[in-house]
Chains A and B, each alone.
Chain A
Amino acid sequence: MLPYRILNRIVLINIANVKYTDIELNGNTCFVGANNYGKTSLQRAILFFYSANSRALGISSSQKPFEEHYFRYDNSYIIYEVNTETSPFFVMVYRHNKLVFRFVDSEYNPDFFFNENNEALKFREVLAKLDQRNIFYSNQIDTFEKYRNILYGTETDPKLNKFFLLRGNEKYQNIPKSITNVFLSSKNSIDSRFIKDFIASAISNETDAILLENIERQLRQFSEKYQDIETFLKKETQQLIELIEQKYDQVQTLKTTQLEAAEKLGSTLRYADTQHNILLNTIQEKENKIQQLKEEFEAFKYASEEKIKDLREQIGFYDGMLREAQRKLDIYKEKNIDEIISKHNEKQQLESRYQVLQKEYEALTSNVQNIEVQYQSLLNEVRNEIQSVTNKINAQITEIINHYNELILLQKEEQNKRENSLKQQLQSTIFSLDQEINQKQTELSQLKSEERISSSIQPYEKEIKQLELEITELKTKIYTGKSELAIRQNQADSLQKEWQNIEKQLQQKFEQITLNIQKQIEQLKKEIAQIDEKLNIQENAFYGFLEKNVPNWHLSFGKILNEDILFKNDLNPQLVDTNSPTIFGVKIDLDKLQIVSKSIEQYQTEKIQKLNQIKELENQFIQEQQNIQNEKILNADKYGKQIAEIKEDIKVTLYAIELAEKKERKLIVELEEWKTKAAKETDASLQTIREKIAMIEEEIAILKKRKQLTETEFETQIQNTIAKSNQQIQHLKQQQQKEIEQLEVQRKNTIKELKDKEDKLIAEKQNIFQNKGVDNKKIQEIQKQLSELQEQISEIQQYQNLINDYLKDKRDLFDNIPLYKQKKEEFVTENKNILQQIEEETKKHNLERLEIQKQKKELEETLYQFNQGILFFQNNFKETPVYKHYAQIIENAEPKPSNFSITDLCTQLLKNESYFNEEYTQFQRYINEYAGKFRMDNHFGFFIRHDASFNEYEKFAQNLRSFINENRIEVSITETSALATMIIDSIAIKVKELSGQKDKIQHIISLLAEDFKKAEFEESKLIEYIKIRLEESDNKIYKLLKKIQEFRDEHGIVFNEGLFSSNQNAPKKPLSLQIIRMLDQLRTAIKEQEQQEIRLQDLFELKFNIKEGLNETGWTHRIDSIGSTGTDILVKAIIYITLLHVFIKESSVKTNKKFKVHCIIDEVGQISAHYLKELLRFAKSRDIVMINGLPNKSGLESHYKYTYQFKKEDDGTVRIFPSIVTEVEV
């Protein structure tokens, strides 16, 4: 039994081409065999014991993996037997889906694995056998990590913690790594870079590298984003954005206008189609209505005129009657009819008196009857003659009167005729004038009605009202928009403040966490340092003494010792009586005390735990940093989005307000235009009407004047005629009077003669009577009276006809005058009423006619417009590309009336389309130019295809607008800043983490240098010295990384304010630019260097100086050729062994349990025996056992404790068997 732990043996059962082999390894071992015989495979199997990493065995990717090549069968096993101070244990490795391990608390015994027929058992059978023998074996260990923990003594499971090869510390992973590295690199030439790699990979994990690929990717992302943002923020780009926005609005407006116009055109065309017949019918209806109205009116007018005619006749009749009555009354009055009548009334009385007087006379004259009769007869004759003369003269006078009367009458008739003719002429003229005036009056009334209608009808009333309504709505909208804007602005401000507060809180929280973690880490580091100190000094301290010399001291003596005493190194402990269970002769019951001292393992575990805690804290720090960053990004996202949304809303609202205001202004202008247009049209129509009215009024005035003049003229003419007539009548009357006077004179003379004769007779008679005695006086008196009466009666008798006529006239005419007057009055009133009615009806008719005519005219106009429009559309529009562009909209539009004509709409569409094309081309140009400023795959997504459609350009502009409105650039800046911060933080952390290991390197290098110094080369005198030293790295990438880390440490995070600030004087701008430059340089360096990662070895440079004989290499990276090949191999092996030794020393805990490990170097065939001897001795002094390969037996094998030969059997299997050699004592 050896007093140390070592891999004692390796047994292969059905492994690769080897059926079975059992190889002892507790001394320097050499495998001799030709190439491809399995030497390296066996060495890998040995290496697997240490590394338990099937992927780090140097198997190339073209070869089968370890598991498949080695463990081909269910009963393939590799068994590693480990020697301990007490009894050996072994590890069996087999494949149960994957490779698994079991630790068996027993030395290896082939019986466990084979049955009676020497057939290898399956693992369950093996376990059954172990069970049968009551041998403890561990549960299946299916992770390499756990296996290594157990093997390197860090497993805490009490059942397993005895199966260790050595007690490793937290760096125990370096041991398998170092063994692996020696094996894998033994074929390479000696280069300091390899040593560097070796050291670095030994003390660092695979993950302890800065993956440049990731950094390059992140840097590329950052650089691209930065470039995108920078491009975006450029003045020219911003100008282009403005232009795009402007053009987009214009294009949109034009497009909308075009679409609306197309829609309107379609609607109007459809409407025109549907309305054509309707309009024609309606026009016909209107025409009929007008005709009907005309007919009705004509009928009414005719009836009324007939009535008027009747009435006029009646009036004329009664007027004539009244005039006749008046004329007659005048004549009678002229004839003193009243006096005549009164005289006529006295006629009877006079006649009675006459008879009385006649009788009295007769009585008186009865005596002189004869004379009387005689004289009476004579007198009668005279009287008769007088009478006859009178009558004759009267007759002549009457004749003259009649003649003149006739002449006068004729004159009067003529006068009347003339007057009538004149009057008729006048009447006719006046009538025609009246008619003309009436017509003008009617026209005037019509025009006045029209004027009233026109002034009451406001043109474009609908449009104006619509516009006024729209303006009111817009005003409301603007007001609401402004209120909303104020609210939104407040919201945005509040959110901004809230965001800033949260950012501040997060920063404070992060700083707090950082402080806490740093404190904890410092505390832990302090504690680790204390443990390290204890572990470092324990060997020379009282603790070490107890460990070495007093078994189980923890359970006895240790219970009363505190750590201060235990780790004192000046106590000079000595073993006096190990068997006495007393303390300075005093015995106490130690069972009552608890164990206070800790074992090395406990310290080690504690240290590992604390290191783990530090790692956890560091991870926690990174996590927290990440969390804070994430939270910041989340907040940026959340608040940025919210603020952006609000800002978007604000912009949208602003835009809406602006649009509304623009529209309002436009509408106000439009309204004014409409109003002006309406006023102009009203004025124009009223002007015409008013002009017409004025003209007609003037005409009426002229006509009236003409009427008046005519009347005056006629009146003058009549008056002249009357005057002339009167003159003639007067003349006639004068002639009549003259003639009558002549006749009267004649009569008077004749009557005087006759009267004289009568008087003579009477006087003769009276003389006779007197002579006869008759009272002559009395008789004379009676006669006088009779004569007077006779005269009076004659006079009355003369007027009898007149009276009769008068009475007749009175009865027929004069008594009826009031009735006639009344009747006339009635008829006049009626006539007046009818005239009024006619006037009203005319007015009404005219209005109605006018209205219908107007409607008809409008309809005709509409129809005309429709027809013209359709014609225009067919001839000038349908063949154009504009129609094709909007054909679908035009053809599918619903029929609807429109204020615009088809021609106007077509013209507008054509005109606007060319304008639209111009604008669109510019819009397209701006977008191309804008998108061209950015990278093709820019992170904003600003990309437009060459053959992009209008919709794509439109979408681009919409996206751009959303981008601006949502202020996504801010989010992008935040993200990019966060990305930069993250990259820099990540670089700083990684560089720090990696640089943190530089101390370890320094430590290792000093250990190596020390170990080289200790090496005893004096005996061989081959190598005088091997020196090693550390220098600063000249790796460009690392230098830049380091610079970034230093910058980060010095300045902290610099981007929050300065990264994209356009202000060059912004406080952090220069720093931002500096770090961005560094990042850029780093990216370029990574690209140029084509390096995948920065590992620990890139942090430093290693140089050797080796002196062999008289040859000194000087301080160099590479040791190409120190001497002969053998010397090179020797030096290389020495360096490896030294490295291995140093790492084992560094990675294990010093306990009383000794151990040895193997150094596997495959090809040492070219080394001389002398050198080999030297080498083995060098290894032995460092508790390292060598395993080497030799191609053939050359005598070198004699220096190894075990030599195994490899032989290929006929069946292809390899047999490994020990070679009988004599070991030369090293």
Chain B
Amino acid sequence: MKIEDLELPKQTHEIFNILARGHFISSNGTKDGMGRLYDILNDPVNFEKLQDYFNVLRYKIEKGNNYFYFSKLNEPPSITEKKLETFEKYIDIIDLFASLDNKITIGSRFRPSEIAEECNANVRLKQKLAKIPLYRSENFLNKIREICDMLTRDSFLELEDENTETYKVLDAYSYLLDIINAITIFGQPNYSENTNDNLSDNIDININPN
């Protein structure tokens, strides 16, 4: 079948550009028509067509809870390992976010200054933040900003309002949580608290696939 025959949506290129960068398309994203792209991908007919199309390019669209991402077909394990190593940096960040009084969950809107304030007032959080290796370390606010920038770059957050520096947590954030939940520390009893889904059994890692 020819590509033209697939009658792909006109946003295919746009979708590919986002996903191929290792980014996610979340349903609650607003920038660059992300919500619209999600709707397009979420349409079963489109999804099938796009899946077929991207399979040719050796990509597979993976569907998470209100988000999509690419995984590579037949990826060598060494790359997966590398990805896991890369993932390490998120663990401390998510740990920090999860330790906040007002927990950061999908859809939460927050300002880095709010988190920095909380970190300033809480020794435990301070320690957690200090543990995160970052370049800009002049003050907490900058560190948090750097974290937010990084998460935004990786499409887990979205800078919703530049004036007030308000970030929104995108649906893709649950991917990070799922991965964390899927981690089993050897030598420790395996608490099967993860009732969310079956990700722990077989998860497709999507950390900088390229």
For the complex, count residues of B whose C-beta is within 8 A of A: 23
By a CB distance below 8 angstroms, the chain A residues around B28 are: 929, 932-933
Tell me if B114 counts as interface (CB < 8 A to partner A): yes
Interface of chain B residues 154 through 175 with chain A (CB within 8 A): 160-161, 166, 168-170
In the complex, how many angstroms separate the beta carbon of B30 from the nearest chain A beta carbon?
A: 6
With A236-B27, A935-B30, A936-B166 in contact, do A929 and B107 touch (Cβ < 8 Å)?
yes
A921 touches B103 (CB 8 A): yes
Question: Mind listing 30 A-B residue pairs with CB under 8 Å?
Answer: A234-B27, A924-B105, A925-B103, A925-B105, A925-B106, A928-B105, A928-B106, A928-B107, A929-B28, A929-B107, A931-B107, A931-B109, A932-B107, A932-B108, A932-B168, A932-B169, A932-B170, A933-B28, A936-B109, A936-B160, A936-B166, A936-B168, A943-B109, A944-B109, A946-B102, A946-B109, A946-B110, A947-B101, A947-B102, A947-B114
Please state if B107 and A231 are interface contacts (CB–CB under 8 Å).
Answer: no
A930 interface contact, C-beta 8 A: yes
Q: Which residues of A contact B168 (CB under 8 A)?
A: 932, 936
A945 in the interface (beta carbon within 8 A): yes
Report how far A947 CA is from B118 CA in the complex, Å: 10
Q: Which residues of B contact A236 (CB under 8 A)?
A: 27, 66
Choose from A227, A231, A945 the contact partner of B109 (Cβ within 8 Å).
A945
B118's nearest neighbour on chain A, judged by CB, is A947
Q: Provide the residues of chain A in CB contact with B111, threshold 8 Å.
A: 946
Chain B interface mostly helix, strand, loop or mixed? loop
Chain A: CB-nearest residue to B166: A936
Q: Any chain A CB within 8 A of the CB of B209?
A: no
Q: Restricting to B18-39, which residues have a CB under 8 Å from any CB of A? A: 27-28, 30, 35
Q: How far is the CA of A945 from the CA of B27 in the complex (A)?
A: 20
A932-B109, A935-B30, A946-B110 known; 15 other A-B pairs, CB under 8 Å?
Answer: A227-B35, A236-B66, A924-B103, A928-B169, A929-B105, A931-B107, A932-B28, A932-B106, A932-B107, A933-B27, A933-B28, A936-B161, A946-B108, A946-B111, A948-B102
Interface residue total, chain A, C-beta cutoff 8 A:
21
Interface string of A115-147 (1 = CB under 8 A from B): 000000000000000000000000000000000
CA distance A234 to B107 in the complex (A): 16
- 1/0 contact trace for A944-956 toward B, CB 8 Å? 1111100000000
The 7 closest A-B pairs by CB, nearest first: A932-B107, A946-B110, A929-B107, A928-B107, A929-B106, A925-B105, A928-B108
Query: Whole-angstrom distance from the CB of A290 to the nearest CB of chain B?
Result: 59
Whole-angstrom CA separation of A933 from B170 in the bound complex: 9
Please indicate the chain B residues that have their CB under 8 angstroms from the CB of A936 in the complex: 109, 160-161, 166, 168
Q: Give the chain B neighbours of A924 by CB distance below 8 A.
A: 103, 105
Q: How distant is the Cα of A402 from the Cα of B169 in the complex, in angstroms? A: 133
Bound-complex Cα distance A554 to B110 (A)? 84
CA distance A855 to B106 in the complex (A): 60
Q: Could you tell me the distance in whole angstroms from the C-beta of B98 to the nearest C-beta in chain A? A: 11
- B104 partner residues in chain A, CB cutoff 8 A: 946
A930 to B168, CA, bound (A): 12
C-alpha spacing A930/B35, complex, angstroms: 14
Chain B residue nearest in CB terms to A948: B102
Within 8 A of B (CB), among A214-266: 227, 231, 234, 236
Neighbouring B residues of A948 by C-beta, 8 Å: 102
Residues of B contacting A933 in the complex (Cβ-Cβ under 8 angstroms):
27-28, 107
Report A1064 CB to chain B, min CB distance, Å.
11
- Of listed A227, A921, A932, A948, residue having the most chain B CB within 10 A: A932
A483 to B109 CA separation, bound complex (whole angstroms): 45
Give, as a whole number of angstroms, the nearest-CB distance from A1081 to chain B: 13
The CA of A944 and the CA of B109, in the complex, are separated in Å by 8
- A946: B residues at CB distance < 8 A: 102, 104, 108-111, 114
Instruction: Give the nearest-CB partner of B66 in chain A.
Output: A236
In the complex, which residues of chain A have a beta carbon less than 8 angstroms from the beta carbon of B114?
Answer: 946-947
Residues from chain A with Cβ under 8 Å of B107 in the complex: 928-933
Please report which residues of chain A, range 933-985, place their CB below 8 angstroms from some CB of chain B when the two chains form the complex: 933, 935-936, 943-948
Q: In the complex, A946 Cα to B170 Cα: how many Å?
A: 14
Q: Shortest Cβ distance from A334 into chain B, in angstroms?
A: 108
Q: How far is the CA of A947 from the CA of B109 in the complex (A)?
A: 9
Give the distance in Å from the alpha carbon of A944 to the alpha carbon of B35 in the complex: 20
User: Given the complex of chains A and B, what is the CA–CA distance between A931 and B161 in angstroms?
Assistant: 15
For B166, list chain A residues within 8 Å (CB): 936
| Residue with the greatest number of chain A CB neighbours at <10 A, chosen from B103, B105, B110 | B105
In the bound complex, what is the Cα–Cα distance between A921 and B166 (angstroms)? 22
User: B87-114 toward A: CB 8 Å interface, digit per residue (1/0)?
Assistant: 0000000000000011111111111001
Q: Which residue of A lies closest to B102 (CB)?
A: A947
CB of A927 to closest CB in B, whole Å? 8
Q: Report chain B residues within 8 Å CB of A944.
A: 109
| Chain A min CB distance to B42 (Å) | 9
Report the nearest B residue to A946, measured CB to CB.
Answer: B110
Determine the chain B residues whose CB is within 8 A of the CB of A935 once the complex forms.
30
Task: Give chain B residues whose Cβ lies under 8 Å from the Cβ of A947.
Answer: 101-102, 114
Q: How far is the CB of B119 from chain A (nearest CB, A)?
A: 14
In the complex, A943 Cα to B28 Cα: how many Å? 14
Q: Let me know if A231 and B106 touch, CB within 8 A.
A: no
The answer for the CA separation of A1113 and B94 in the assembled complex, in Å, is 70
Q: How far is the CA of A930 from the CA of B108 in the complex (A)?
A: 9
Name B115's closest neighbour in chain A (CB-CB): A946
Smallest beta-carbon distance A1060→chain B, Å: 14
In whole angstroms, how far apart are the Cα atoms of A231 and B170 in the complex?
A: 15
Question: Complex Cα distance A936/B66, Å?
Answer: 19
A928 surroundings in chain B (CB, below 8 A): 105-108, 169
Q: Give the residue name and chain of the A residue nearest to B117 (CB).
A: A947
Shortest CB–CB separation between residue B127 and chain A, in angstroms? Answer: 21
Contact with B along A893-927 (1 / 0, CB 8 A): 00000000000000000000000000001001100
A1083 to chain B, nearest CB (A): 13
Q: Which residues of B contact A234 (CB under 8 A)?
A: 27
Query: Chain A residues near B106 (CB, 8 Å)?
Result: 925, 928-929, 932
In the bound assembly, the distance between CA atoms of A947 and B102 in angstroms comes to: 6
A933: shortest Cβ distance to chain B, in Å?
5
Q: List, in ascending order, chain A residues with CB within 8 A of B110's CB.
A: 946
Separation of A928 and B107 alpha carbons in the complex (Å): 5
* CB-nearest residue of chain A to B26: A932
Find chain B residues with CB under 8 A from A931 CB.
107, 109
Least Cβ–Cβ distance between A759 and chain B, in angstroms: 142
Q: How far is the CA of A741 from the CA of B110 in the complex (A)?
A: 141
When chains A and B are docked, how far (Å) is the Cα of A21 from the Cα of B88? 89
Residues of chain A within 8 A of B160, CB atoms compared: 936
B7 shortest CB reach to chain A, Å: 16
Bound-complex Cα distance A921 to B105 (A): 10
Task: State how many angstroms separate the Cβ of B14 from the closest Cβ of chain A.
Answer: 14
Q: How far is the CA of A924 from the CA of B114 in the complex (A)?
A: 18
A944 to chain B, nearest CB (A): 8
B24 to chain A, nearest CB (A): 15
8 Å CB interface, A1142-1198 against B: none
Within 8 Å CB of A932, what residues of B? 28, 106-109, 168-170
A933 and B27 CA atoms in complex are apart in Å by 7
Alpha-carbon distance between A675 and B16 when the two chains are bound, in angstroms: 68
C-alpha spacing A929/B173, complex, angstroms: 11
Query: Shortest beta-carbon distance, A1069 to chain B, in Å?
Result: 15
Q: When chains A and B are docked, how far (Å) is the Cα of A222 from the Cα of B106?
A: 27
Report whether B35 and A231 are in contact in the complex, using a CB–CB cutoff of 8 Å. Answer: yes
Please give the distance in Å from B58's CB to the nearest CB on chain A.
30
A residues near B105, Cβ cutoff 8 Å: 924-925, 928-929
Most B CB contacts (10 A, CB to CB) among A928, A936, A943 go to: A928
Least CB distance from A669 to B in Å reads 29
Q: A902 vs B170: C-alpha distance in the bound complex, in angstroms?
A: 46
Closest to A935 in B: B30
Distance between Cα atoms of A1101 and B32 in the complex (Å): 34
Q: Please provide the chain A residues from 351 to 404 with a CB less than 8 Å away from any CB of chain B in the complex.
A: none
Chain A contacts for B170, CB-based, 8 A: 932
Question: In chain A, residues 647-705, which have Cβ atoms closer than 8 Å to a Cβ of chain B?
Answer: none
| Alpha-carbon distance A231/B29, docked complex (angstroms) | 11
Q: How far is the CA of A653 from the CA of B108 in the complex (A)?
A: 34
